[in-house]
Structure 1
Amino acid sequence: MEATRLVRLLGLPQGEEALRERLRRPGHPRLKEALAAYLKRLQAPKEAFSALERLGVGAVVAGQQAGLLGGPAFTFYKAHTALTLAEGVGGAAVFWVASQDHDVEEVRHLHLLRDEALETLSLDLPPLPSGRIPLGPYRERLLAFLGPWAEDPRLAYALEGKTLSEFFARVLLAFLGERGLIPFDPMAEELAPLFLEALEKELADPLGSAEALNREAERIRALGGKPPLRRKPGATNLFLETDQRRLLFYEGGAFTDGVRRYTAKELWEIARANPSRLTPAAGLRPVFQDLVLPTAGFVVGPNELAYVAELSEVYARYGLAMPALFLRLRALVLEPPIRRILSRYSLDPWAFVEEGEEAFWRAAGGALEAFRELEAGFKALLAEAEAWEAKAKALEPTLERPFRRFRFRLKGEGERLLGKLLRARALRDEVLRGHLERLKRHLLPLGLPQERVYPFAMYALRHPEALRRLAEAPREGRAVIPLG
C-alpha cells in the first residue's frame, strides 16, 4: 500500500488547513536562546537569526542525515518545501540535522559530475553518529576532491566545521541561510540539553512508546499496510552511545545495551552529564523533535512518510498533536546539453527517470525515419490480423479464439523484434549511443534518480542562478529546474 493512501486511511493531518490549525503551539521555553547560541557559534547569516523571531508563529520542519556537501539534492528540496510553507504562514523553517544517526554508509560518499564524468569520493568513517565524527581527518581529502570549488567562500566557510554534522549544517547555512533556514543539530552542545525532560519521561516508562508503536503497527497491518517499524519484545526506543551507538533493551527492572546492564538512575546520570549520549530511535525521533520545536508542519520524503504514519499513538502518549504532513518537492535539474538532447527526441525527462532506456528507445525510434516506416508497416500488419480475426469469426465462430491468440503472438514477437532492431541500430550509431549515455549520467547516475545522487550544491557552484531557480520552484509535486 502506498504511504500516501495509508496516511489518508489513518486520517492523519495533511495540507495547509491542518498546518494553520497547529500554529502558535509552544516549543521548549529555552529553545530560542539555545538556537541563538548555536547559530552564533556557526556564524550564521543575519537572515537565520531573524527567522528565530518567527518561531513564535510556528515551525515547519524537515530533516536529513548529515551527508557530504549537503547530501543528495533532495535534501535541498526538503528545505525548499519547508521554507516555502513557512513563508506562507509567517513561521520559521527548521532543518533537523540527523546527527544522531550512526549509519555511516548513508553519508560517506560524495558523487560529483564534472567534465561529463561521474567522480566519487568515499570516506572510511567510523560507525559513530555523524555529530561525533570529527571533520579534521577528512578535510584534506575533501579539499583535494573539491578542487577549485573549495575556494568558493561558501565552501570555505562550511569546511571550517568541527564535525561532519557541523559541516552539513554550515552547507545549509551557506546556500540556504539567506532564505532564513535554521539548522538544528540535536547533538550540538547548545541544543542537546533541551531533550532532558523527554529523556526523563522515556526512562520512567521505557517500553511505553515501543508498545504504542507496535499497537499502531497492528492497526496498519489490519488495513492492508506494511508497517516499517516494529519493536522486538523488551526493545526500547532509546540508543545509548558508549564506544558505539546501541539500542537499549529493558527487562526485569534493568536496561542493557548488549554489553552491560544499567539502572534507570545510571542512565539518567549519563544523560544529565551528556544528554547527547542517550538518543531516540526512529520510532521516537520525530516526537522528541516536536517536544522541543513548535512544529506545525513536517516535510518528509515518500519513505519517511511510511514510518511517520506509524507514530500517532507515540505522539498521543506524549500529549502531542501530530504535525501536518507534507511530501517534499521532487525535482530534476536540466543543464543546457541535456535540454538539447531531450528536445531532439521530444523525450520527457521524468519518463526517462522512471522508465530508463525504454523511454529513450521509444523516443529515439520516433526520430529515425526508416524505423518509423517499419513501425507503421507493423501496425498495419496488426490491423490486418485483426480484420482476419473478424472474418474468421463470421465464417466459423469457433476459430475466433485461435485467431486472437495468433494476433497476440504476432504483436508480442513484432514488438520484441522492433526493439532488437532499434538497439542494434543504436549500437552502430555513436551519436545515438552517446546521447543515451549522457542522459544516464545526468538523470540516472548509478541507476538512481538524479536527486538521490548529486548534491544540489554542485549545481549552485556551477550556475549562479541555481538557488534562485530553486526558490521559484513549486513547494510540492514535481518540478524541472532549467539552468544555464
Structure 2
Amino acid sequence: MPPPMTSIPLERYPGLPPLFLDFARGASRFHPDPPTLDAALERGKAILSGGRRRLPVTAFRFRSTAGRRAAEDLAGGRAVAVLAGHQIGLFTGPLYTLVKAFDAILLARELTQRGLPAVPVFWALTDDHDLEEIAKTAKPGPDGPQSFVLEGADRSNRRPVGSLPIPGAVSRIVEAFRKDGPGEEAAEILDLAARRYAAGTTYGEAFIESLLDLTEDDPLLVVDPLEEPIAQAARELFSIGLERRAEIGQTLRQTALAIEQTGRKPAVPFREEVFPFFVLEDGIRRRVEAAELEEAGSRVSQGELGVSADVLTRPVLKSVVLPVAASVLGPSEIAYHAQSLTLFPIFDAPLPVLVPRTFLVVRGAAERRAAQALGVADEDLLAPRAAAREAAVVPQADRVCEIAQRLDAEMATLAPEVEALDPTLAGALETARRKAAYQLEQLGERMRKAAERKDEVALARRRRLETMLLPGGEPAERVYPPIVFLRIWGGGVLDAIRSVAGSGGREVRIVDADAAADAQPKRSRAG
C-alpha cells in the first residue's frame, strides 16, 4: 500500500527557473512537446522505426539477467530509451539524482505496458570537471545542516571527475555519517557506502556501483560518456558542428534573443566566440579558442584530442547515440533545453519528449509533530522562515503587572485610615504591601520565563523542521544524499520514493517515510 501523502503546489518550491515554470504550465513556446506518456509513446514509435545508430551491449553497465536483456534490446534496435542523468556526486549526490532514476524506471515500465518496449538508462556525467560541486555532501546536524567537502575540490580542477581517485579524507566523512542512525540496518547502509567510496576508487566507479545498488530491484542501465563508443560519437558530433558552426551560432543567437523578448533570461548566455564543445587534451577538459578551431578539428578527426559535449550539445549527443523517446530532467535542465532543442535538427537528432522529474519532501513522525506544534500547514513546508529569536509577548504577565500596580496604589490609600485605627498596624500594612508586590512580581517573572521556555521549544522545533526539510533554504532533496534518508528510515524509504515516482512537473509530493518503513519488511542492502 502506498504511504499516506499530500502535496505542495509546484509554485511553492524554491528557486524554480521561470522558463521551467512556463513549461510546467504548458505556456512555453520553446518546448514543443507536452510532457505526457502519449507524446513519449508516439515519439518512441517513430524513433524505433527509424533504424538509427545503436550502442553495443558493452557500452552499458547493469546488474542481473534482466539488465543484460534490456541492454541487448537497446543494442538490437528492439527498444527505446527513457533517459535520466546527472553529475556523479559523492554518495550518488543529492536525493533527487536517485529520484530521476526511479522516474525513468517507472516511465519505461509504463511505455512497455502500452506496447512500446522501453528501457531506463542513466547517463552518468563522468566527463564533467566541476569537482567542487561533485566532491561535497551534507547531513542534518543538531544546529542545522553540516556540509563536507573533500580536499582538492575547487574550481581549478579541469580534469573529468569520473577518472579521478577519491582521496583518503572520505573516511572522515563516512565516520561523521556513522554517528547518526543507530541500528543494524543503518550500520549496513554505511558499510556499503564506505566500500563503494573507498579511498582510491574513482568517482565514476563509486557513483555507478552505488546507483546500481540503490536500484538493484530494477533493470537500470548506466552509460559512461568517457567510454569509447560514446567518446567516438562525440568526436563525430564535434566534426559536424565544426562544419555547421555558422548555422549553430546563428541558431543560438536567435534563440537567446527570442527568449529575452518573452521577458525571460536564457539559461546559457549567448557568446559569439564560444563553440559548444570541450576538447580533452592530456587529461584536461578545456574550451577551444576560435582561432584554433580548424586545427582542433583536424586533431579530433585524427584521434589526438578527445571531445566532451557542453551543456547545450550534451542533450544532442544523448539522442545521437541512444533512441531516446523521453528524457527525465530537472528544472534547470528543462530551462536550458529551450536553447538546446534548437540544435537537434542541425545534427539530425530526433527530439525527445521532456518529462520533469518528481519533486519530493520526505518526512517522518518527528517532522509531522513539529509542523503541527508550530502550526505549519503542509503547503508551507518549503516556505523559508527566519529562525531569529523575537522577544516573547506574554499578555498574562502584563496583566499581573497591572494588578500589582493597582493593588499597590489601593493599599497606599489605606495607610492613613489604618494608622488612625491603630498606629501599630501601619508597619504591618507596609509589610503586606511589599510582600504582595513582590509575590505578584515573582509570579509575572515566572510566567515570562515559562513563555521563554515555550519559545525555546518552538525555536528548537523550527530549527529541526528546517534542518530536515529546508536546510539552508534549499529543499532537502537537493542537499542530502540518499544515505541520510536510508539511515533514518531504512530501506523502506526507497519503496516510498518509488511509489510517487513519475509525478513530477505538477506538484511537490510529500512522502511520509516512517509509514512506509513500518509497512515494509526490513531488507538489507549491504550487498
What is the TM-score of this pair, normalised by structure 1?
Answer: 0.76
Which of 252, 268, 291 is 1:229 aligned to?
268
For the pair shown, the structure with the greater C-alpha radius of gyration is 2
| Residue 170 (1) aligns with residue 209 (2) | yes
- Whether the aligned pair in 1 keeps the contact of 2:279 and 2:287 (CA below 8 Å) is yes
Q: Structure 2 vs 1, CA of residues 144 and 435 (structure 1 numbering), >3 Å: closer, same or farther?
A: closer
1:102-117 matches, within 5 Å, as 102-113=129-140
- Tell me the distance in 2 between the aligned counterparts of 1:166 and 1:434: 40
- Whether the aligned pair in 1 keeps the contact of 2:374 and 2:462 (CA below 8 Å) is no
- Whether the aligned pair in 2 keeps the contact of 1:133 and 1:163 (CA below 8 Å) is yes
Higher relative contact order, structure no. (Cα contacts within 8 Å, ≥ 6 residues apart) = 2
Aligned residue number for residue 448 of structure 1: 474
| Residue 88 (1) aligns with residue 110 (2) | yes
1:358-397 matches, within 5 Å, as none
Structure 2 unaligned spans of 5+: 1-17, 113-117, 180-185, 398-447, 515-527
Which of 12, 22, 29 is 2:32 aligned to?
12
Aligned residue number for residue 3 of structure 1: 20
One-letter amino acid matched to 1:105: E
Which of 500, 513, 521 is 1:483 aligned to?
513
SS at match of 1:245: strand
Which of 452, 456, 460 is 1:434 aligned to?
460
| Residue 244 (1) aligns with residue 266 (2) | no
- Whether the aligned pair in 2 keeps the contact of 1:214 and 1:230 (CA below 8 Å) is no
One-letter amino acid matched to 1:341: A
1:232-381 matches, within 5 Å, as 232-242=271-281, 244-251=284-291, 254-255=292-293, 262-269=295-302, 272=303, 277-357=306-386
Q: Structure 2 vs 1, CA of residues 82 and 430 (structure 1 numbering), >3 Å: closer, same or farther?
A: same
Aligned residue number for residue 404 of structure 1: none
- Tell me the distance in 2 between the aligned counterparts of 1:369 and 1:47: 68
1:25-40 matches, within 5 Å, as 25=47, 29-36=53-60, 38-39=61-62
Q: Structure 2 vs 1, CA of residues 267 and 54 (structure 1 numbering), >3 Å: closer, same or farther?
A: closer
Which of 205, 225, 232 is 2:244 aligned to?
205
Q: Structure 2 vs 1, CA of residues 369 and 440 (structure 1 numbering), >3 Å: closer, same or farther?
A: farther
| Residue 71 (1) aligns with residue 93 (2) | yes
- Whether the aligned pair in 1 keeps the contact of 2:123 and 2:223 (CA below 8 Å) is yes
- Whether the aligned pair in 2 keeps the contact of 1:13 and 1:324 (CA below 8 Å) is yes
- Tell me the distance in 2 between the aligned counterparts of 1:342 and 1:227: 38
One-letter amino acid matched to 1:13: D
- Whether the aligned pair in 1 keeps the contact of 2:360 and 2:508 (CA below 8 Å) is yes
Residue 447 of structure 1: how far off its partner (Å): 2.3
One-letter amino acid matched to 1:52: A
- Whether the aligned pair in 2 keeps the contact of 1:298 and 1:323 (CA below 8 Å) is yes
What is the TM-score of this pair, normalised by structure 2?
Answer: 0.70
- Whether the aligned pair in 1 keeps the contact of 2:141 and 2:467 (CA below 8 Å) is no
SS at match of 1:92: strand
Residue 29 of structure 1: how far off its partner (Å): 4.2
* 1:63-92 Cα distance to aligned partner (Å, 9 max, x none): 111111111111122222222111110111
Structure 1 unaligned spans of 5+: 256-260, 372-421
**RMSD after superposition:** 3.3
| Residue 193 (1) aligns with residue 215 (2) | no
- Whether the aligned pair in 2 keeps the contact of 1:48 and 1:177 (CA below 8 Å) is no
- Whether the aligned pair in 2 keeps the contact of 1:207 and 1:234 (CA below 8 Å) is no
SS at match of 2:382: helix
One-letter amino acid matched to 1:445: P
Residue 300 of structure 1: how far off its partner (Å): 1.3
- Tell me the distance in 2 between the aligned counterparts of 1:173 and 1:268: 35
SS at match of 1:432: helix
Equivalenced residues, count: 412
Percent identity reads: 24
- Whether the aligned pair in 2 keeps the contact of 1:112 and 1:120 (CA below 8 Å) is yes
Q: Structure 2 vs 1, CA of residues 120 and 3 (structure 1 numbering), >3 Å: closer, same or farther?
A: closer
Structure 1 or 2: more helix by fraction: 1
SS at match of 2:267: coil
One-letter amino acid matched to 2:55: L
* 1:135-191 Cα distance to aligned partner (Å, 9 max, x none): 255554454444486754642553368321221122210101322222222113564
164-173 or 220-229: bigger deviation = 220-229
